[in-house]
Structure 1
């Protein structure tokens, strides 16, 4: 059989999350192309893998492609790994995979850990329709523009963020999306200080401000999509609110009306206030 390029997922924190197949592949290939050879060397040592490593990262990937492709064309299997998780997911590797496909070399995925999917599976937000947005811009002006473009998306959004930017980014999200938008906060997944919480963006700002430990480690944000506003005849809304106001407070009635109809809570609340003043 001709040589193959294996795209191998590695643990994002807990070493036991390494799959048996991944270990077998890394032991059997001729060379491992790694984002950071020092980081990968620790993983290989843990599993007694002696396969040679070569660096393949953002700064040298273009130069390394020809060398790796030549080895593949001469029959050497190659494995691609990132520092943690699945390669190409906000990590290097895309150029190498594309080049392998262009040269007719088979690319084989070896699935495993992925922080984005791990976070999505645990925060309790809709997972049937989502988008992965990767890292936002480090510049606030650009970040705000990116968030404005995402503001009206109705599907769940997954965003990676660096610890030194997390507070500023969440504040920007609260400003653009609204402080009451639901968000899942997943930090240090599978590691000793794993933190997974669901709250509003406003609450998350306070949570991070009050605990500097939450500004450390690897962070994934899972943000609820915008609520689709539903058209509703004012007469129908009035009938619903008047019935609810017979048994509930203005606040409770407007919240329930918003939940049942999909209209904004502040719209329902304002109308409920108007109706109580007329009674």
Structure 2
């Protein structure tokens, strides 16, 4: 097992960047930007603008570090760390490595015994969780749902029984599709919150059921979006699955195909389709 004493070599600094308001930046971030030997930024133009807004002159070399060049750049930055340099990684917003570049270099540095530290900063994940009004004692971060409908449906179905509050990122133009898929997988009545433009001028937190939020998202939604969805509550008073199974059977007797009957009954009852499907096919 390697410890994290740094071995007398360089230091990797993962820096949290403001997710909206520039004045959320810490004094430590200002100092680190001014003193790091190398600043690896997801977008160098945005980083220069941030530094200007903070009144900071970058003291070291600025390089790009984004998804497309992360693998190659990580090796290069590891070499600089081995030479004793301080490398600061910063993304456009939030913490590096959280749905943003940073994990690969961190892993390499840890394996090489190089010291890794962080400058804590704003996070859309914990900010959205805090303002959502949903349970925050236990939660999980699920990143961006898959873009393709089939993959997204399978991923969400696997989360239907997750009891922790779930936090997702999503692009505004895919928000309605994502909420609709979640309503189908988790149940239309599952509580959730859409957090948009957090900490910015037009911040908005929309709370409701997944069905209600999916209907709202049919409009023109813009900006950065974070979704918070309540976990499955096995102790809550829920619709009697046995009665829903009987309702599916009655619809089948009336001539409705079983698959369609399951979809219709699950949607009307606000229960996950997979849960009812499993109950119908249970021996």
Residues 71-116 of structure 1: CA deviation (Å, up to 9, x unaligned): 2222221100011111100001111111111222100111011101
**Match in the other structure for 1:277:** none
**Structure 2 residue aligned with 1:197, among 206, 226, 235?**
206
Correspondence list, 1:171-210, <5 A: 171-209=180-218
The CA distance in 1 between the partners of 2:81 and 2:9, in whole Å, is: 8
- 1:17 lines up with 2:29 in the alignment: no
**Structure 1 residue aligned with 2:171, among 152, 158, 162?**
162
**Match in the other structure for 2:272:** none
The CA distance in 2 between the partners of 1:200 and 1:71, in whole Å, is: 50
**Structure 2 residue aligned with 1:144, among 136, 143, 153?**
153
Residues 125-183 of structure 1: CA deviation (Å, up to 9, x unaligned): 00111110000100011000001000111110001001111011111111111111000
The CA distance in 1 between the partners of 2:178 and 2:137, in whole Å, is: 25
The CA distance in 2 between the partners of 1:100 and 1:45, in whole Å, is: 30
The CA distance in 1 between the partners of 2:86 and 2:55, in whole Å, is: 19
**Match in the other structure for 2:9:** 2
**Match in the other structure for 1:106:** 115
The root-mean-square deviation of aligned C-alpha atoms, in Å, is 1.5
Deviates more, 1:120-129 or 1:37-46: 37-46
**Match in the other structure for 2:126:** 117
**Match in the other structure for 2:99:** 90
Deviation at 1:11, TM superposition (A): 0.2
The answer to whether the 8 Å contact 2:94/2:124 transfers is yes
The CA distance in 2 between the partners of 1:17 and 1:71, in whole Å, is: 30
The CA distance in 2 between the partners of 1:164 and 1:185, in whole Å, is: 14
Structure 1: 5+ residue stretches without partners: 230-261, 271-279
Normalization by structure 2: what TM-score?
A: 0.79
Deviation at 1:50, TM superposition (A): 2.6
The CA distance in 2 between the partners of 1:49 and 1:105, in whole Å, is: 27
Residues 39-95 of structure 1: CA deviation (Å, up to 9, x unaligned): 211101112323231011111111112221222222221100011111100001111
**Match in the other structure for 1:38:** 45
1:7 aligns to what SS in structure 2?
strand
Deviation at 1:17, TM superposition (A): 0.7
Structure 2: 5+ residue stretches without partners: 1-7, 244-283
2:97 aligns to what SS in structure 1?
coil
Aligned length: 233
2:217 aligns to what SS in structure 1?
helix
Deviation at 1:197, TM superposition (A): 2.3
**Structure 1 residue aligned with 2:64, among 36, 55, 58?**
55
The CA distance in 1 between the partners of 2:222 and 2:217, in whole Å, is: 10
Say which one has the larger Rg. Answer: 1
1:96 aligns to what SS in structure 2?
helix
Deviates more, 1:56-65 or 1:4-13: 56-65
The CA distance in 2 between the partners of 1:135 and 1:40, in whole Å, is: 24
Structure 1 stretches of 4+ with a deviation exceeding 3 A read none
1:197 aligns to what SS in structure 2?
strand
